[in-house]
Chains A and B, each alone.
Chain A
Amino acid sequence: GAVVSQHPSRVICKSGTSVKIECRSLDFQATTMFWYRQFPKQSLMLMATSNEGSKATYEQGVEKDKFLINHASLTLSTLTVTSAHPEDSSFYICSAVRAKFGYTFGSGTRLTVV
């Protein structure tokens, strides 16, 4: 199969602190992972493409210094929201691609910044 695990599922943090979200491909190696953000009743918006061993590619309007992405291995990509503010509260979802299985999504992380 193609299973993607995302952790944590929910996190509440104080304004100004940083939060790390992990995305793991459990039964395959993923050279490319994607990070999305989804606001209530809105579409999934691609934030960045994470490539193993190289710098992430960010979409226009996404602050790379605020949303740090590290894809240090073929099974793990992390998204760190630095100096979080209430407007960063959202649902963050990762995805990975596996040949013949297509795109598989994690279960998402609900971030609430208070």
Chain B
Amino acid sequence: EDQVTQSPEALRLQEGESSSLNCSYTVSGLRGLFWYRQDPGKGPEFLFTLYSAGEEKEKERLKATLTKKESFLHITAPKPEDSATYLCAVQAGSGGSNYKLTFGKGTLLTVNP
């Protein structure tokens, strides 16, 4: 069974204080690892997809990296508007279920001004 564990569950930062969120996973045959941002009462908003160990992607203050066991979402000099829940999900391929995503519980990030 595919498993995704995110840590920490919650993180409070001061504006400008950089940090990282962790997503560790156990899957058979990783096809892709996804990062989403979710605001309260909204659906997830796509951030990144990573496909292979060593891959990195950046978008504004966010940078996602991937190893064979985990992914990190680095937040550089965060702003209050970066406050949200960040979700990690994996897609593992096996026959007809190769489009399913398995999500972690998320990290609730709060950035104080």
Interface residues, chain A, with chain B CB atoms under 8 Å away:
4, 6, 32, 34, 41-46, 49, 57, 91, 93, 95, 97, 102-108, 110
Interface residues, chain B, with chain A CB atoms under 8 Å away:
4, 34, 36, 41-46, 49, 87, 89, 96, 99-106
A102-B46, A103-B46, A105-B44 known; A46-B34 Cβ under 8 A? no
Closest A residue by C-beta to B44:
A105
Which residue in B45, B100, B106 is a CB contact (below 8 Å) of A43? B106
Q: Return the 8 tightest CB-CB contacts between A and B, nearest first.
A: A105-B43, A43-B103, A43-B105, A44-B103, A108-B43, A105-B44, A107-B43, A93-B43
Closest A residue by C-beta to B45:
A105
Q: Interface residues of A: mostly helix, strand, loop or mixed?
A: strand
CB-CB < 8 A to B101: which residues of A?
A: 34, 44, 46, 95, 103
A44-B87, A44-B103, A103-B34 known; A108-B46 Cβ under 8 A? no
Closest B residue by C-beta to A101:
B46
CB distance A108 to B42 under 8 Å?
yes
CB-CB < 8 A to A42: which residues of B?
A: 105
CB distance B43 to A106 under 8 Å?
yes
Which residue in A4, A102, A108 is a CB contact (below 8 Å) of B41? A108
CB distance A93 to B44 under 8 Å?
yes
Which residue in B42, B46, B100, B105 is a CB contact (below 8 Å) of A107? B42
**Best-surrounded residue of B43, B44, B96, B99 (most CB of chain A within 10 A):** B43
CB distance B99 to A97 under 8 Å?
yes
CB-CB < 8 A to A32: which residues of B?
A: 99
CB-CB < 8 A to B49: which residues of A?
A: 102
Taking the closest CB of chain B, its distance from the CB of A19, in whole angstroms, is 18
CB-CB < 8 A to A102: which residues of B?
A: 34, 46, 49
13 contacts between A and B (CB under 8 A): A34-B101, A43-B87, A44-B44, A57-B96, A95-B43, A95-B101, A103-B34, A105-B44, A105-B45, A106-B43, A107-B42, A108-B42, A110-B41
Taking the closest CB of chain B, its distance from the CB of A14, in whole angstroms, is 22
